[in-house]
């Protein structure tokens, strides 16, 4: 809907101002079909165990195609591309980074079901060398 000048209304408000208002209303009405994502709705945390790291998150209403997971230099980066959602994020992105040293990325186990992201990163298995000498610090004497 566009407004043209004329009448008392046109004398008080500019055509551009009124058209901008109508365009804003049309844009807001179109948001009814777009999922709403709020920062407080997204939860993401990590737990470390002896043999693995487990990262779990709740992403209500987020399509799995909008999840971006990267691994580089012992860091897992989890991002959500929010371009397709109404949100309160200033830069249209959600991002969390976790430090996960010494993991076997080839054994990564990941799933996304019912808005829940779950992945496990097994730690590298350290092979004990036959030539390792264990020194009891309490009994060690410097020669």
First to last CA, the chain: 92
Q: Which residue has the tokens 């309160």?
A: 88
At 82, the pLDDT band (50, 70, 90 cuts) reads confident
Query: What are the two backbone dihedrals, phi and then psi, of residue 96, each rounded to the nearest 5 degrees?
Result: -140, 145
Q: Report whether pLDDT(2) > 50.
A: no
What pLDDT, on a 0 to 100 scale, did the predictor assign at position 16? 66
The CATH code of the domain at 37-122 is 2.60.40.790
Label residue 81 by pLDDT band (50, 70, 90).
confident
pLDDT in tens, 95-133: 899 999 999 989 999 999 999 999 999 999 865 445 666
Tens digits of residue pLDDT in 9-64: 555 555 566 666 666 655 555 555 555 666 677 899 999 999 999 999 998 888 88
The pLDDT assigned to 129 comes to: 47
Burial classification of residue 112, based on how many CB atoms lie within 10 Å of its CB (0-12 exposed, 13-18 middle, 19 or more buried): middle
Q: Where are the domains of the chain?
A: 1-33, 37-122
């Amino acid at each position: 809907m566009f407004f043209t000048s004329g009448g008392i209304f046109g004398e008080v408000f500019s055509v551009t101002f009124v058209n901008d208002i109508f365009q804003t209303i049309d844009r807001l009405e179109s948001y009814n079909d777009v999922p709403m994502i709020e920062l407080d709705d997204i939860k993401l945390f990590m737990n470390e165990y002896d043999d693995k790291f487990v990262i779990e998150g709740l992403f209500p209403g987020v399509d799995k195609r909008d999840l971006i997971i990267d691994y580089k230099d012992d860091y897992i980066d989890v991002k959500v591309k929010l371009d397709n959602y109404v949100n309160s994020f200033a830069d249209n992105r959600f991002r969390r980074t976790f430090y996960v040293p010494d993991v076997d990325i080839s054994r990564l186990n990941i799933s996304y079901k019912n808005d829940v992201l779950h992945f496990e990163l097994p730690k590298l298995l350290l092979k004990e060398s036959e030539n390792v000498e264990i020194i009891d610090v309490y009994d060690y004497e410097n020669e």
